[in-house]
Copies of this chain bind each other. A is one copy, B any other.
Amino acid sequence: MQFPSKLIEDAVNAFATLPGIGKKTALRLVMHLLQQEPVGTKNLSEAILKMRTEIKFCKTCHNVSDEDICSICTNSYRDKSVVCVVENFRDIIAIENTRHYNGLYHVLEGLISPMDGIGPEQLNIQSLLKRVEEGTVKEIIMALNPTIDGDTTIFYLSKMLSKHELKITSIARGIAFGGELEYVDEITLARSIQSRLPYENYLSK
């Protein structure tokens, strides 16, 4: 693709480095910015630069934060005996939006993945063990994606945590609300049968 201007070309190439944005979409975004007032572009430019340079990661749970310790860890109303282990901060946003969890979090920043060469030492696992050793944590909830990498990570973590007196749980896996049995894959269906619940429990959830 040839561009009439080096400025346009640079902006298109910069947008096209983002995931899911190819050159044509990038050009559409640039067109849009050109059609709007310059202040809109200024806002976008400043917001992303400020976000990237000033963002902090909570020293306790590695969540993104404006301060050294995030607002969830400093919130005195939250249950400090439960820690929910997640892959990244997007999962925290998803769980927070349910408004059904009141404990703390721990962001691993990835999953163990031998295929991608990611080992336990590249993840925030040492800091999790440290938090557990302090003694206030009574339950660890594994809220990791139900993939091979997720299961590998849960297996590794539960091994590492086994010497502590802890309740280790995982978020329930089964048929999604509104899902139809006939379209569910075999592994999910098999697991949901194996981990069936008494009818009363089912109703209360």
In Å, the complex CA distance between A49 and B89 comes to 28
Query: Are A14 and B33 in contact, with the CB atoms below 8 A?
Result: no
From 1 to 35 in chain A, residues with beta carbon under 8 angstroms from any chain B beta carbon are 1-8, 10-11, 13-15, 17-21, 25, 27-34
- Judge whether A130 is part of the interface by a CB distance below 8 angstroms: no
Query: Are B52 and A32 in contact, with the CB atoms below 8 A?
Result: no
From 47 to 84 in chain A, residues with beta carbon under 8 angstroms from any chain B beta carbon are 47-55, 63-66, 70-72
Question: CB < 8 Å: which of B7, B38, B45, B66 contacts A66?
Answer: B7
Classify the interface of chain A: helix, strand, loop or mixed: helix
Query: Are A43 and B14 in contact, with the CB atoms below 8 A?
Result: yes
Query: Are A52 and B29 in contact, with the CB atoms below 8 A?
Result: no
- Judge whether A165 is part of the interface by a CB distance below 8 angstroms: no
Residue of B nearest to A109 (CB): B35
Query: Are B4 and A72 in contact, with the CB atoms below 8 A?
Result: yes
Residues of B within 8 A of A44 (CB): 14-15, 17-18, 48
Q: How large is the interface on A (under 10, 10 to 19, 20 to 34, 35 or more residues)?
A: 35 or more
Query: Are B55 and A1 in contact, with the CB atoms below 8 A?
Result: no
Query: Are B42 and A45 in contact, with the CB atoms below 8 A?
Result: no
Question: CB < 8 Å: which of B5, B25, B28, B49 contacts A65?
Answer: B5
Query: Are A51 and B29 in contact, with the CB atoms below 8 A?
Result: no
Query: Are A7 and B70 in contact, with the CB atoms below 8 A?
Result: no
Query: Are A25 and B15 in contact, with the CB atoms below 8 A?
Result: no
Residue of B nearest to A89 (CB): B4
Residues of B within 8 A of A72 (CB): 4
In Å, the complex CA distance between A6 and B8 comes to 30
Query: Are A4 and B92 in contact, with the CB atoms below 8 A?
Result: yes
- Judge whether A133 is part of the interface by a CB distance below 8 angstroms: no
In Å, the complex CA distance between A13 and B33 comes to 15
Query: Are B34 and A64 in contact, with the CB atoms below 8 A?
Result: yes
A-B contact pairs, 5 of them (CB 8 A): A4-B71, A4-B92, A5-B65, A8-B51, A34-B51
